[in-house]
Structure 1
Amino acid sequence: MTDINERHREKMKKIKAARDKIMATKTEEKGLIMVHTGNGKGKSSSGFGMVMRCIGHGMPCAVVQFIKGNWITGEARFLKERFAEECRFVISGEGFTWETQDRERDIAAARAGWEQAKVIIRDPKYQFVLLDEINIALRYDYLDIDEVVGFLLAEKPYMTHVCLTGRNAKPELLEAADLVTEMTLVKHPFSDGVKAQRGVEF
């Protein structure tokens, strides 16, 4: 057993030395443009996880939620009721597009949300801004992709993090982003007739 532990210790020492060498070259700090996309579950969940992380670090943050509308989610209730001072929460959508069935109204809601998002992002007070489901609004051309990307690249304060979630992120956004994560669908209970579960999906 001692030999196994010693071999393990020597292996870990080499890994640590290599890791320390890599880490010594990573010195820049900047606000990131992050995209969570893909057909798998977890895009918004991950974004809200970062909101919780920011609150834990005392970093003021904000959420602008597109599309979902008045759908009561656990994260909206949690942040509005318990962390209203730490996290501003804006709901701009009126529901999923197949529910509203009114393109003009959907566009107006998305535009209103984007205008609020720009004001929030410009404010250096907010160190992290989650644009939840904005990729859906971009996918249906409720918002202009060139305008959104141009604003993020030109007007976002240097140290502000912005995370954009939703399926089918456009190539222009992927190109502009610093970090892109694609959630891959492997298996989902919905295909077996199981409806969205409270605490898991909303």
Structure 2
Amino acid sequence: MSEQNQDKHQQRQQKVKQKVDERIAAAQKEQGIFQVITGNGKGKSTSGFGTVARAVGHGMKAAVCQFIKGTWECGERNLLEKAGVEFVIMNTGFTWETQNKESDTVAAQVTWQEAKRMLKDESINLVMLDEITYMITYGYIDLDDVLEAVSSRPAMQSVIITGRGAHRKLTDLADTVSEVRNVKHAFDAGIKAQKGFDY
């Protein structure tokens, strides 16, 4: 790179650095973060579990409620439970397999009561509510109850909600919203879900 090109590059990067530094200086409020990870693409729970692992890696306490995939072996659960992460699992599996609204509602409510306990516990730095959006959509858990529990949690506790079709009131309340978009999925090409990659 010529000296002139290097100077131009350095000037551009200095402008970028200045903007980044200004944003960092402006973001000084300290509080727990409420994040919603939604959309039709693969990777919502995986993203949430990555944040749980990050918190644990920093010596923080994390807890997880799983509302859908409880009957499957879960690689993240296998790992994170050994690191002290509490898991509460609905254990009914996919609602389209049980096809019993009454028993699914009871199971969802039992799991939700445990989630509410976590959301009141100041010692828990991060709570992940995996696939809870389905429970709200199906009417198994009341949306307003979720909004109230998340809003009244300890000030420094962070919460991650995952699942498709997150209600607008959840995304409005959230500090961070990520939408995972499906471009292409191996399952659509007939490829079986792979242990260690898909679950």
TM-score, normalized by length of structure 1? 0.94
**Aligned match of 1:138 in 114, 117, 136?**
136
How far off its partner does 1:17 sit? 1.6
SS in structure 2 of the partner of residue 89 of structure 1: strand
1:117 aligns with 2:115: yes
Structure 1: any 5+ residue segments left out of the alignment? none
- The equivalent of 2:178 in structure 1 is 181
1:157 aligns with 2:164: no
- The equivalent of 1:168 in structure 2 is 165
SS in structure 1 of the partner of residue 119 of structure 2: helix
SS in structure 1 of the partner of residue 109 of structure 2: helix
Q: Distance in 2 between matches of 1:169 and 1:96?
A: 18
5 Å-filtered alignment, 1:5-154, equals 5-80=6-81, 82-83=82-83, 85=84, 87-153=85-151
Kept in 2: contact 1:61–1:88 (CA 8 A):
yes
- The equivalent of 2:4 in structure 1 is 3
Kept in 2: contact 1:93–1:106 (CA 8 A):
no
SS in structure 1 of the partner of residue 183 of structure 2: coil
Sequence identity, in percent? 44
How far off its partner does 1:93 sit? 3.4
**Aligned match of 1:190 in 178, 184, 187?**
187
Q: Distance in 1 between matches of 2:154 and 2:191?
A: 43
How far off its partner does 1:18 sit? 2.3
Range with bigger deviation, 93-102 or 33-42: 93-102
SS in structure 1 of the partner of residue 111 of structure 2: helix
SS in structure 2 of the partner of residue 122 of structure 1: coil
Kept in 2: contact 1:67–1:110 (CA 8 A):
no
How far off its partner does 1:22 sit? 2.3
Q: Distance in 2 between matches of 1:10 and 1:173?
A: 42
Q: Distance in 2 between matches of 1:109 and 1:26?
A: 40
Output the aligned Cα RMSD. 1.1
- After superposition, what is the alpha-carbon deviation per residue over 1:42-100, rounded to whole angstroms, capped at 9, x for unaligned? 100000000110011111010011121221111111122x21x2x11111231001111
Q: Which amino acid aligns with 1:56?
A: G
How far off its partner does 1:6 sit? 2.2
| Regions of 4+ moved over 6 Å | none
Structure 2: any 5+ residue segments left out of the alignment? none
Q: Distance in 1 between matches of 2:19 and 2:173?
A: 30
Q: Which amino acid aligns with 2:131?
A: E
Q: Distance in 2 between matches of 1:99 and 1:21?
A: 51
Q: Distance in 1 between matches of 2:197 and 2:189?
A: 16
Q: Distance in 1 between matches of 2:170 and 2:91?
A: 21
Q: Distance in 2 between matches of 1:146 and 1:158?
A: 19
